[in-house]
Amino acid sequence: MADIVFFQSTPLRTFGLIGYPLSHSFSEKYFTEKFSREQINDCRYELYPIRSVDEVKQLIRSFPHLKGLNVTIPYKQQIIKLLTDASEIPEGIRACNCIKIEGKILIGYNTDCIGFEKSFTPLLQPHHKKALVLGTGGAAAAVVYVLKKLGINFTSVSRSPLQSSVIKYSDLNEKKLKEYNIIINTTPLGMYPQTDSCPPLPYQAITEKFLLYDLVYNPAQTLFLSKGAAKGAAIKNGEEMLILQAEESWKIWNS
C-alpha cells in the first residue's frame, strides 16, 4: 500500500488594521497587492473595524496567527495604554500606528514619523526655516517630532488651542503667514469626499518660496495644495509618506 502523506496547511501569518469606521483602507489594498506582487503566499491583511480599543485583546485571542496591526483613527492615542513598556514610540509622541504582536504582548511603534521624515527632508531648501503645522492630532505629533529633530522652528495651529504656544486660525493674517515658509496640513480638511474644503488661511500671502505639504493623499491634489501651487509654492501630498510608513511596518513585523 502506498504511503499516505498528510500535509498540514501552514496557517497564514495575519496582519491587519484596527480603527472605526473602516470604510476604505489604503493599507488593506497596499498589503494585499504587495503580497500578490512579491509572491508572499503565507500572509494576509484584514480589516478589523472594532468599536472600542479594548476589543483588541479579544481580537488577539480569536486570531492566534495575528502578527501585526496598523492602527488608525480613532485609536492611535487610545491604544497606548495596552502596549508593553518595551514599545519604541519616540519620546513626546502619544500616538501609535503600528503594533508587533508577540503572544499576548503588544509592542507599539510610530512609523508615521519615519514616513514623514523620509518624504519631507528631500524637499527642504536652505530658506525653509519656519513651519506652520495645521492640526494637533496624532499625525501632527509625528510631524512635530520630526521638525524638532531637524531643528526647524514651528508653530502649531488649532481650532481650539490648549497651550499658549499654539495659535488659532483667526490669528493668521497675511502679515503673520509671511513669517513662515513651510505649511504642513495634518487635518483631514480636503480629504475625499469633502474635496471642496481646505484649511482657512490667507492663501494670497503664499509665495514661490513656500513649501506646502499635505498629509492627505486622496485626492492627490487637495484644494490646499492647489491654492499653494497657484501661488508658485512647492507642493507635496501624503502618498509617499503613506507608502513609506507601510513599508516600515512590514520591516518591523518581520524583524
Catalytic residue among 34, 67, 76, 178: 76
Write the CB contacts of 25 (distance below 8 Å, at least 6 apart in sequence): 17, 47, 72
* Residue 12 or 243 with smaller CB distance to ligand NAP: 243
Residue 236 engages ligand NAP in binding (rule: CB under 6 A) = no
Residue 87 engages ligand NAP in binding (rule: CB under 6 A) = no
Residue 115 engages ligand NAP in binding (rule: CB under 6 A) = yes
Residue 202 engages ligand NAP in binding (rule: CB under 6 A) = no
Residue 112 engages ligand NAP in binding (rule: CB under 6 A) = yes
Q: Of the candidates 101, 132, 215, 235, which one interacts with ligand NAP according to CB under 6 A?
A: 215
Residue 43 engages ligand NAP in binding (rule: CB under 6 A) = no
CB of 224 to ligand NAP, least distance (A): 11
C-alpha cell, 115: 514616513
Residue 94 engages ligand NAP in binding (rule: CB under 6 A) = no
SS3 (DSSP) at 185: strand
CB of 111 to ligand NAP, least distance (A): 9
| DSSP notation for 66-116 | EEEEEE-TT-TTGGGGGS-TT-BPPTT-----EEEEETTEEEEE-HHHHHH
Residue 89 engages ligand NAP in binding (rule: CB under 6 A) = no
Residue 139 engages ligand NAP in binding (rule: CB under 6 A) = yes
Q: Is 76 a catalytic residue?
A: yes
Between helices 111-120 and 239-253, what is the axis angle to 10°? 140
CA distance 4 to 96: 49
The dihedrals phi and psi of 134, each to the nearest 5 degrees, come to -90, 120
Q: Of the candidates 25, 27, 136, 222, which one interacts with ligand NAP according to CB under 6 A?
A: 136
Instruction: Return the residues of window 169-198 that contact ligand NAP according to CB under 6 A.
Output: 186-189, 191
Q: Of the candidates 93, 201, 212, 241, which one interacts with ligand NAP according to CB under 6 A?
A: 241
CA distance 212 to 210: 6
Residue 217 engages ligand NAP in binding (rule: CB under 6 A) = yes
Residue 249 engages ligand NAP in binding (rule: CB under 6 A) = no
The distance in angstroms from the start CA to the end CA of the chain is: 45
* Residue 10 or 170 with smaller CB distance to ligand NAP: 170
Whether the ω angle into residue 161 lies within 30 degrees of 0, i.e. cis, is: no
Would you say 167 and 155 are in contact if contact means Cβ atoms under 8 Å apart? yes
Would you say 182 and 216 are in contact if contact means Cβ atoms under 8 Å apart? no
Residues that bind ligand NAP (CB under 6 A): 73, 76, 112, 115, 135-140, 158-160, 186-189, 191, 215-217, 238, 241-242, 245
Residues with a catalytic annotation lie at 76
